[in-house]
């Protein structure tokens, strides 16, 4: 067979050739833009020529600090398309972490959204490698700023060459992109994506039993483009010629609901907190969501109650998927097998709330204290994965040796697998609660609590216990109107029939909000501190 390289730039060329009339609809700060792939292709080529003129060479890192919009999409293809490396930076991280990430990656140039400018102005004296800044804006004038030199994105494009070629002389194993994990502990860790990894991962997003994205879709990735390449959707959707809807800066659940209705969105993707917010909005407004055929949900466990609400109340198919920054990210997706369609409605929901089965192309194993565990849905162990879109190291980071061992990525997730091969995340290794020599899954308790009608969000953490080692404490945020209507005992009674007695939380705390990470996951480290402070327990 021929050895033709799998290259990111070729995906855009494909869209230009075969889907030139299809559209990218993009909300920026000021304007709703509608561009065809022909236009996006030309703009990407202009941008490549501008990067070359600014001195960007093969292997250089091109940093972005931006929301989901067409300009960001163009950099997704322009940087790797001319041999450079797209480095998406999580704008919600602390300034210290952003400085660390930019210096560690050695970014040469930074593309920034207007509203991120004040942040970069504050930190730019600490940036050691950045030689130029580009502001992405609908305005033609440059803002008054201390950043030097600063270019206007649209001006660079105007001066660029619309016929500039995508490079074909790259190795498919060359770096195309990079992203740092959002660091629930320690400094962020960098992951480098190869051209080959991104292209093969995109194929998995197109498989009927994978992401099932096709030309006929109108896709709205809600997961930020600065988080694991918006789960690879911008790459796959461009390649397949799907219409893309990009919700832009600081979107609200209202904008998401309105865009779904207005643009007849068929597929969308994001973390559970986004869908909890959208659900509240759908309950308030009278939106037409009948176009939606797939909500992809991952990043943290999707509570069963959430899946039920989308599917039963709004008739919106909801698919639970699992992955990580290190895995590009798609690893498993939860779809029923043909012969599971006969299960009862409840059994189907139970099955669908699991994280699902491995997408073709990857391998997995589950390692317990005595080696590989049986797939009997009872034995727990850490999930290990490998495959062509799984990283094999962190970027220049000695912590690599803790996670990448003997050719396997150790995910840090504790799972069980049933006889069907369907995986269920029990917990993150560090969040499992050890009580009297037994393990308690904080995720199971959270999901059960979030199925209660009064609960908006719930998170469960351990506190140290002299007798049992650790005990679970539930933290609950009530839905509007339920304050004072439910008590701790109501929740314990609600959980009692579902769990062994020792699983029941020792206490239920009512909070206004649960602290979250920069990508909307429960920030358990901070919550644990809050809970300990509540009981006046000293931190070690
Ligand atoms: P971070 O480690 O900073 O949270 P990632 O965004 O890469 O960075 O998160 C990956 C982790 O998110 C996984 O290891 C897993 O713990 C969790 N995760 C991802 N998808 C799911 C899911 N569907 N259910 C439960 N946990 C999930």
In a domain? residue 375: yes
CA of 224 to the centre of ligand 1 (A): 15
| Cβ 300 under 6 angstroms from ligand 1 | yes
In a domain? residue 160: no
Q: How far apart are CA 36 and CA 21, in angstroms?
A: 5
In a domain? residue 324: no
CA of 352 to the centre of ligand 1 (A): 17
**Cα dist from 136 to 91, 255, 271, 456, 509, whole Å:** 15, 21, 26, 36, 44
| Cβ 184 under 6 angstroms from ligand 1 | yes
pLDDT of 245-260, one tens digit each?
999 998 999 999 999 9
Residues 6+ apart with CB under 8 A from 511: 475, 476, 477, 530
pLDDT of 447-500, one tens digit each?
999 999 999 999 999 999 988 889 999 999 999 999 999 999 999 999 999 998
In a domain? residue 17: no
DSSP code, position 9: H
Task: Verify that 421 and 381 share a domain, yes or no.
Answer: yes
Task: Verify that 388 and 462 share a domain, yes or no.
Answer: no
Q: Residues 61-89: what's their mean pLDDT?
A: 98
pLDDT at residue number 540: 56
Q: How far apart are CA 540 and CA 524, in angstroms?
A: 16
CA of 110 to the centre of ligand 1 (A): 27
Q: Which atom of ligand 1 is nearest to the CA of 355?
A: 23
Q: How far apart are CA 305 and CA 448, in angstroms?
A: 8
CA of 185 to the centre of ligand 1 (A): 13
Task: Mark which of 409, 428, 447 sits at the end of a domain.
Answer: 428
CA of 383 to the centre of ligand 1 (A): 12
Task: Verify that 463 and 387 share a domain, yes or no.
Answer: no
Q: Which atom of ligand 1 is nearest to the CA of 182?
A: 3
- Do the beta carbons of residue 22 and residue 212 sit within 8 Å? no
Q: Which atom of ligand 1 is nearest to the CA of 327?
A: 7
pTM metric for this prediction: 0.91
**Residue positions counted in the chain:** 540
DSSP code, position 274: H
Neighbouring C-beta atoms of residue 458, cutoff 10 Å: 26
Task: Verify that 449 and 528 share a domain, yes or no.
Answer: yes
Task: Mark which of 407, 428, 449 sits at the end of a domain.
Answer: 428
Q: How far apart are CA 119 and CA 96, in angstroms?
A: 11
Please identify every residue annotated as catalytic. 181, 326, 434, 439
In a domain? residue 390: yes
Task: Verify that 444 and 398 share a domain, yes or no.
Answer: no
In a domain? residue 526: yes
pLDDT band at 539 (very low <50, low <70, confident <90, very high): low
- Asked if the model's pLDDT at residue 186 lies above 80, the reply is no
pLDDT band at 183 (very low <50, low <70, confident <90, very high): low
Which residue has a Cα nearest atom 13 of ligand 1? 324
Task: Verify that 474 and 381 share a domain, yes or no.
Answer: no
In a domain? residue 421: yes
Task: Verify that 456 and 487 share a domain, yes or no.
Answer: yes
Task: Verify that 446 and 484 share a domain, yes or no.
Answer: yes
- Do the beta carbons of residue 111 and residue 136 sit within 8 Å? yes
Task: Verify that 508 and 417 share a domain, yes or no.
Answer: no
Task: Verify that 471 and 416 share a domain, yes or no.
Answer: no
| Cβ 411 under 6 angstroms from ligand 1 | yes
- Asked if the model's pLDDT at residue 48 lies above 70, the reply is yes
Read off the CATH number of the domain in which 462 is found: 3.30.300.30
From the number of C-beta atoms within 10 Å of its C-beta (0-12, 13-18, 19+), residue 247 rates as buried
Q: Residues 220-236: what's their mean pLDDT?
A: 97
- Pocket of ligand 1, candidates 189, 322, 426: which has the most ligand atoms within 8 Å of its Cβ, to mutate? 322
Domain extent, residue 419, equals 362-428
Number of domains into which the chain is organized: 2
| Cβ 357 under 6 angstroms from ligand 1 | no
| Cβ 355 under 6 angstroms from ligand 1 | yes
CA of 275 to the centre of ligand 1 (A): 16
Q: Residues 393-419: what's their mean pLDDT?
A: 96
pLDDT at residue number 386: 98
- Pocket of ligand 1, candidates 184, 300, 429: which has the most ligand atoms within 8 Å of its Cβ, to mutate? 300
pLDDT of 306-341, one tens digit each?
999 999 999 999 999 999 999 999 999 999 999 999
DSSP string, 487-538: -HHHHHHHHGGGS-GGGS-SEEEE-S---B-TTS-B-HHHHHHHHHHHTTPP
Which residue has a Cα nearest atom 3 of ligand 1? 182
| Cβ 521 under 6 angstroms from ligand 1 | yes
Q: How far apart are CA 489 and CA 123, in angstroms?
A: 49
Task: Mark which of 399, 428, 457 sits at the end of a domain.
Answer: 428
Task: Verify that 406 and 445 share a domain, yes or no.
Answer: no
pLDDT at residue number 184: 60
The mean of the pLDDT values for the chain is: 95
In a domain? residue 87: no
**Cα dist from 397 to 63, 173, 179, 187, whole Å:** 19, 20, 14, 10
Q: How far apart are CA 17 and CA 241, in angstroms?
A: 10
| Cβ 328 under 6 angstroms from ligand 1 | no
Which alpha helices (H) appear in 245-357, and where do they start and end? 253-263, 272-284, 304-308, 314, 345-353
Read off the CATH number of the domain in which 379 is found: 2.30.38.10
Residue 63: alpha-carbon gap to chain centroid: 18
**Short-list 88, 79, 87, 89, CA closest to 58:** 79
| Cβ 181 under 6 angstroms from ligand 1 | yes
Helix H, strand E, coil C: the string for 153-217 is HHHHHHCCCCCCCCCCCCCCCCEEEEEECCCCCCCCCEEEEEHHHHHHHHHHHHCCCCCCCCCCC
- Do the beta carbons of residue 488 and residue 507 sit within 8 Å? yes
- Do the beta carbons of residue 391 and residue 175 sit within 8 Å? no
Task: Verify that 420 and 497 share a domain, yes or no.
Answer: no
């Amino acid at each position: 067979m021929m050895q033709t390289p799998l290259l990111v730039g070729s995906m855009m060329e494909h869209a230009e050739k075969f889907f030139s009339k299809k559209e990218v609809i993009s909300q920026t700060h000021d304007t709703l833009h509608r561009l065809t792939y022909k236009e996006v292709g030309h703009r990407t080529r202009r941008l490549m020529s501008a990067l070359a003129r600014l001195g960007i060479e093969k292997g250089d890192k091109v940093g972005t600090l931006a929301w989901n919009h067409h300009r960001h999409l163009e950099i997704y293809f322009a940087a790797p398309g001319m041999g450079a490396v797209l480095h998406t930076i999580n704008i919600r991280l602390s300034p210290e972490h952003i400085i660390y990430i930019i210096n560690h990656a050695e970014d040469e140039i930074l593309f920034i959204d207007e509203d991120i400018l004040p942040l970069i102005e504050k930190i730019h004296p600490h940036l050691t490698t950045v030689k130029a800044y580009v502001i992405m804006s609908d305005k033609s004038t440059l803002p008054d700023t201390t950043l030097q030199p600063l270019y206007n994105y649209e001006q660079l494009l105007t001066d660029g060459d619309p016929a500039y070629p995508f490079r074909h002389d790259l190795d498919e194993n060359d770096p195309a992109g990079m992203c740092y994990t959002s660091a629930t502990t320690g400094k962020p860790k960098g992951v480098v994506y190869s051209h080959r990894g991104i292209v093969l991962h995109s194929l998995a997003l197109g498989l009927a039993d994978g992401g099932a994205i096709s030309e006929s879709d109108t896709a709205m990735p809600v997961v930020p483009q600065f988080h694991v390449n918006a789960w690879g959707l911008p790459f796959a959707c461009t390649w397949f010629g799907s219409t893309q809807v990009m919700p832009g800066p600081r979107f609200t659940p209202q904008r998401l609901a309105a865009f779904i209705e207005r643009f007849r969105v068929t597929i969308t993707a994001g973390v559970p907190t986004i869908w909890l917010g959208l659900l509240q909005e759908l309950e308030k407004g009278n939106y037409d969501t009948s176009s939606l055929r797939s909500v992809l949900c991952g990043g943290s466990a999707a509570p069963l109650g959430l899946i039920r609400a989308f599917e039963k109340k709004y008739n919106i198919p909801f698919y639970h998927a699992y992955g990580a920054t290190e895995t590009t990210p798609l690893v498993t997706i939860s779809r029923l097998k043909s012969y599971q369609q006969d299960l009862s409605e409840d059994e189907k929901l139970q099955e669908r709330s699991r994280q699902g089965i491995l997408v073709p192309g990857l391998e997995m194993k589950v390692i317990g204290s005595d080696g590989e565990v049986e797939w009997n849905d009872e034995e727990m162990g850490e999930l290990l994965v490998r495959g062509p879109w799984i990283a094999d190291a962190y970027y220049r980071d000695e912590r690599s040796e803790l996670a990448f061992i003997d050719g396997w990525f150790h995910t840090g997730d504790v799972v069980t697998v049933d006889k069907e091969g369907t995986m269920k995340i029990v917990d993150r290794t560090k969040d499992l609660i050890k009580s009297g020599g037994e393990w308690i899954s904080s995720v199971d308790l959270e999901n059960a609590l979030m199925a209660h009608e009064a609960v908006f969000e719930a998170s469960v953490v351990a506190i140290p216990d002299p007798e049992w080692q650790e005990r679970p404490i539930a933290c609950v945020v009530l839905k509007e109107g339920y304050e004072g209507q439910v008590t701790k005992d109501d929740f314990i009674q609600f959980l009692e029939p579902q769990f062994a007695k020792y699983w029941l939380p020792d206490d239920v705390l009512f909070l206004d909000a649960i602290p979250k990470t920069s990508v909307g996951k429960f920030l358990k480290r901070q919550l644990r501190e809050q809970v300990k402070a509540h009981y006046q327990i000293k931190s070690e």
